[in-house]
Amino acid sequence: MRRGALIVFEGCDRAGKSTQCRKLVEALQAKGKAAEAMRFPDRTTVIGKTIGSYLEKKMEMQDNAVHLLFSANRWELVPYMQKLLNQGTTLVVDRYAYSGVAFTAAKQGFDLHWCKQPDVGLPKPDLVFFLDINLEEAEQRDDFGEERYESTLFQKKVKDNYDQLKESTWEFLDASQSIEDIHCSALDIAEDIVDGELCTPMEKLWI
């Protein structure tokens, strides 16, 4: 049986990732393909609830420690992801290890190399959409500025870090286009991957 594809959306805050994830899952399902949405952090688990409190500034945490929690939150969901992928379900994931690295490495005293280590060996995405947003535009979007990390200066550093994480699996989408236009481009690219030759077993990230 064919495995499902692992598709990830990445980008700075308010780039439109959640909207595009939802639309992509709906479109794939409408075409009769098994697809499910996931997101990181997954704030529903015990680890995820702690991350949620940290992001909502209800608690403080040492920076290395919270970085490891974000990674642990991905690892705890790997068995679930593997099960669905092996059953032939495509996963469309809102943020993944690239967010982990880009955000922590934007903090003082962190480098990309250290930040990548806890996520080394995770299932490697078959496709990563990077929603490229102009930071002045993101700032104007609803809710910007409420959670931790949502300042333009921080997001600028995050964007520079993303630039250094680009891999051959990445596709850039201009986030200033309309929701429909972005969706059409994403769906085209995603369908090629979902229907194409998927490498089995899956590759491992950053190995």
Size of the site for Mg ion (CB under 5 A): 1
Comparison of 60 and 192: residue with beta carbon closer to ligand NYM: 60
Query: What is the contact mask toward ligand NYM in residues 149 to 178, using x (rule: CB under 6 A)?
Result: x-----------------------------
Does 126 participate in binding ligand NYM (rule CB under 6 A)?
no
Distance CA 60, CA 157 (A): 21
Pick the binder of ligand NYM from 16, 41, 118, 123 (CB under 6 A): 41
Q: Which DSSP helix (H) or strand (E) runs through 38?
A: strand 35-39
Q: Which stretch binds Mg ion (CB under 5 A): 7-15, 78-86, 94-102, 117-125?
A: 7-15
Token pair of 5, please?
Answer: 């594809």
Burial of residue 37 (number of CB atoms within 10 Å: 0-12, 13-18, 19+) = middle
124 binds ligand NYM (CB under 6 A): no
CB closer to Mg ion out of 13 and 119: 13
Rg over CA atoms, the chain: 16
Side chain identity at residue 132, one-letter code: D
Stretch that binds Mg ion, among 13-21, 33-41, 110-118, 131-139 (CB under 5 A): 13-21
Tokens describing residue 192: 């090629």
Q: How far apart are CA 68 and CA 65, in angstroms?
A: 5
Query: In whole angstroms, what is the distance from residue 78 CA to residue 56 CA?
Result: 25
**Stretch binding ligand NYM (CB under 6 A), from 2-10, 25-33, 93-101, 129-137:** 93-101
How far apart, in Å, are the Cα atoms of 39 and each of 7, 19, 60, 135, 204? 11, 12, 23, 22, 19
Among 95, 124, 159, 183, binds ligand NYM (CB under 6 A): 95
Residue 40 binds to ligand NYM (criterion: CB under 6 A): yes
Secondary structure letter of residue 14 according to DSSP: T
- Is 55 among the residues that bind ligand NYM (CB under 6 A)? yes
When asked if residue 90 is in the footprint of ligand NYM (CB under 6 A), the reply is no
CB of 31 to ligand NYM, least distance (A): 26
- Calpha distance 41→155 (Å, rounded): 18
* Interacting residues with ligand NYM (CB under 6 A): 13, 40-41, 55, 70, 94-95, 99-100, 103, 149
